[in-house]
Structure 1
């Protein structure tokens, strides 16, 4: 019986590459290696999944959602805790969001997730930064052209402005009434259909990290992270290193793009 391999590319978008608003310095080198991998013929991949971070301007992790006591927005990379919201050090710019903001930050801390981090505005739906990086897109088009009937399975994530969504499988906090923030069982079932899943994209410290943590428990022995196909957001290198160790300790592998056959 033939085996089936898939590539899952997490958020390979312009805004996470050097020219983007949340650019990662080494992301273009990752993209070049991913392009070469996608151009292999015959391809090692029978399926290709690509996630797209997809945000609104007033997303909970963007500056415009929040104001301090003087009415100023937080600068990028500000961390906002539940205590900050409780004290009024930071408040939602829309007062009707206060109850949710208190509940949200409390839920993050109770679950041991990342502290709410305010990011530069990025991956706005319809903006140039939302598009797939040109190097990666070139590889994707080569893969599509290399075999009859090939399709990319596109997965949008982060569209609900009231919750962060690092993982492609679920939001940081589920928003009642919005199934897109709950666990994506349909996507998991599609992934379950393959024998080996390779994962790359951006960023290793965040969206690759949390996506793999949600997938690997059901994919032990079959998931391989492309170690030279993803990089950390500057300042979060320790989270990336911890993730690599977690993968190795929990039934996954870390491989190099050149070793994929």
Structure 2
């Protein structure tokens, strides 16, 4: 049976910036537990994790530099799903994209012969770096090798993104409505929310929560597979995945989950449930002709279908959560 939405929550505030109302949320959690008989998460017979990927102001709040169209509606659907199944969701796991000004995918890392920085959505290829069209403002040898390694993997070309999710800034924070949900869940189910930071090393991109795009540059280790988080996620009987953006961080994380489940225990593939109506792709840029590598919505849809064929479950927030 579905539970009601807590009194403090309003759909209309899902895309808004405001100070979290911790005291009000805590009071409602006490009332809610008493009224609805919500039990501690440690008593769950079937353990379920809700894994929110980068549901931060940077991606989910209108006006933010990397706002993903559709993210507000995704937030609304996800929170309705979470609150209605609060007594069944054992743990909340949230990743936080975490950056600084000088990172290889931000404009300040590169400049042209006139000293101008690349505009957001500029693609920086190996040929661009070798020809001097774009020059790294720091670590030039490492920056060239990074582009070479990235292109050799044939997953992404280095794309310059607007400054986003800067540590210490508002855009780094979890969306207030999601943060209140984490407080409510923690108090109602007597269990802590797990937060996972990613993306801090300046010499690599970190779309996936589990692994950076490149792990070594010029003999320097710049990242590695997050075995600790993977093993934590795999302890659950079900893992429901949502967040932003469907075409980038969510997709890369799902691909890494698939790869490492296949390496370890393929029988666990069906534990992963993709909440497909709780994520949206980065829009394709208005380029004519549009390079296939930048048709993000198409790439996301094709990849999700591939993951479904591999054994992951593609579900919607409106479907019953039978436990």
Verify same fold: TM over 0.5: yes
* Alpha-carbon offset, residue 137 of structure 1: 1.9
1:98 equivalent in alignment to 2:147: no
For 2:271 and 2:89, the matched residues in 1 are separated by 14
Q: May I ask how many residue pairs the two structures share in their alignment?
A: 257
SS in 2 for 1:228: helix
SS in 1 for 2:118: coil
Q: Tell me if structure 1 keeps the 8 A contact 2:86–2:185.
A: no
For 1:20 and 1:184, the matched residues in 2 are separated by 28
| Alignment match, 1:258 | 318
* Alpha-carbon offset, residue 227 of structure 1: 0.7
For 1:260 and 1:111, the matched residues in 2 are separated by 39
Alpha carbons of structure 1 residues 35 and 138: separation in structure 2 relative to 1, 3 Å: farther
SS in 2 for 1:224: strand
| Alignment match, 1:31 | 75
For 1:70 and 1:142, the matched residues in 2 are separated by 52
Which sections of structure 2, spanning at least 5 residues, go unmatched? Answer: 1-43, 262-267, 285-295
* Alpha-carbon offset, residue 260 of structure 1: 4.7
* Alpha-carbon offset, residue 178 of structure 1: 4.8
Deviation string for 1:84-111 (max 9, x for gaps)?
A: 11111101112xx111011100101111
Aligned runs of 1:146-165 on 2, under 5 Å? 146-148=188-190, 150-165=191-206
Aligned runs of 1:173-184 on 2, under 5 Å? 173-175=214-216, 178=221, 181-184=223-226
Determine which structure has more spread, i.e. the larger CA radius of gyration.
Answer: 2
1:225 equivalent in alignment to 2:278: no
* Alpha-carbon offset, residue 112 of structure 1: 1.2
* Alpha-carbon offset, residue 27 of structure 1: 0.3
1:6 equivalent in alignment to 2:55: no
Deviation string for 1:13-56 (max 9, x for gaps)?
A: 00102221100121011111122222235432112110000001
| Alignment match, 1:110 | 152
Over the aligned positions, Cα root-mean-square deviation in angstroms equals 1.5
For 2:55 and 2:320, the matched residues in 1 are separated by 19
Runs of 4+ in 1 over 4 A off after TM superposition: 176-179
For 1:249 and 1:71, the matched residues in 2 are separated by 48
Aligned runs of 1:207-246 on 2, under 5 Å? 207-217=249-259, 218=261, 219-235=268-284, 236-246=296-306
For 1:177 and 1:91, the matched residues in 2 are separated by 21
Of structures 1 and 2, the one with the larger relative CO (CA 8 A, separation 6+) is: 1
| Alignment match, 1:122 | 164
1:45 equivalent in alignment to 2:86: no
Which sections of structure 1, spanning at least 5 residues, go unmatched? Answer: none
* Alpha-carbon offset, residue 248 of structure 1: 1.1
| Alignment match, 1:89 | 133
For 1:260 and 1:92, the matched residues in 2 are separated by 51
What TM-score do you get using the length of structure 1 for normalisation? 0.94
SS in 2 for 1:259: coil
SS in 1 for 2:84: coil
Alpha carbons of structure 1 residues 153 and 178: separation in structure 2 relative to 1, 3 Å: farther
Q: Tell me if structure 2 keeps the 8 A contact 1:16–1:27.
A: yes
SS in 1 for 2:103: coil
